[in-house]
A and B are shown apart, each in its own frame.
Chain A
Amino acid sequence: ILNVEQSPQSLHVQEGDSTNFTCSFPSSNFYALHWYRWETAKSPEALFVMTLNGDEKKKGRISATLNTKEGYSYLYIKGSQPEDSATYLCAPNTGNQFYFGTGTSLTVIP
């Protein structure tokens, strides 16, 4: 079982603020790192799949970076909006196994 840690566990920000959170994982046997957004009453939605050390991906106001050598990934949200409120999950993949972190619950206050 992979030890995946996400921090902070929950976060409240004002609309318009930028924010970021962390996913930490063991760097050995790394294959890929997935980020998902899970809104209440919906199914998880894929944000990014990252495989290369130093990789940076962007989707609108959301971006993510990856450091496979030290075992962490950051997710950034620029200019948070209420619709960004969700739980953000990361899931490192060691080839044929996925281990989801407990997520960061983001609430954006209008």
Chain B
Amino acid sequence: GAVVSQHPSWVICKSGTSVKIECRSLDFQATTMFWYRQFPKQSLMLMATSNEGSKATYEQGVEKDKFLINHASLTLSTLTVTSAHPEDSSFYICSASEGYEQPQHFGDGTRLSIL
């Protein structure tokens, strides 16, 4: 089956640090990758959608300069949380798809804790 690897699974760092999260599709080519954030006791909130080779489309309210997304190849997308602060602490999860009518395959998520 389609496998998506997300790394790291847990990050604890000091305020002001930039953190990069990687999302890789291991056995298929992901034309589209999605980045989600989950707040406590809430559902997945779509942050942005990225298509290989083009700029990511951010959802309303998501700061582009804060959450940098790069989708340089059909198998890799990265999310960089720049100058992270405690309010950025959350669970971030990526998914990859071969198309909007195709199912999304999720990574295991990254738990980010900013001290």
Interface of A with B (CB < 8 Å)? Answer: 1, 31-32, 34, 36, 42-46, 49, 51, 89, 93, 95-103
Contact = CB atoms under 8 A, between A and B. Distances in A.
Contacts of A34: 103-104
A84 B102 CA distance: 23
B100 A96 contact: yes
Contacts of B4: 43
Contacts, number: 52
A51 B99 CA distance: 13
Contacts of A49: 101-103
A46 to B, nearest CB: 3
17 contacts: A34-B103, A36-B106, A42-B108, A43-B93, A44-B95, A44-B106, A45-B106, A46-B103, A46-B104, A49-B101, A89-B43, A93-B100, A95-B100, A96-B57, A97-B46, A100-B43, A100-B46
Interface of B: 4, 34, 36, 42-46, 49, 57, 59-60, 93, 95, 100-109
A70 B61 CA distance: 29
Contacts of A98: 34, 46, 104
Most chain B beta carbons < 10 A, residue from A51, A89, A98: A98
Given A36-B106, A96-B57, 20 more contacts: A31-B100, A42-B108, A43-B4, A43-B106, A43-B108, A44-B44, A44-B104, A44-B106, A45-B106, A46-B104, A95-B100, A97-B46, A97-B59, A98-B46, A98-B104, A99-B46, A100-B43, A100-B45, A100-B46, A102-B42
Nearest to A93: B100
B46 A103 contact: no
Contacts of A102: 42-43
A22 B102 CA distance: 22
Nearest to B93: A43
Most chain B beta carbons < 10 A, residue from A31, A49, A51: A49
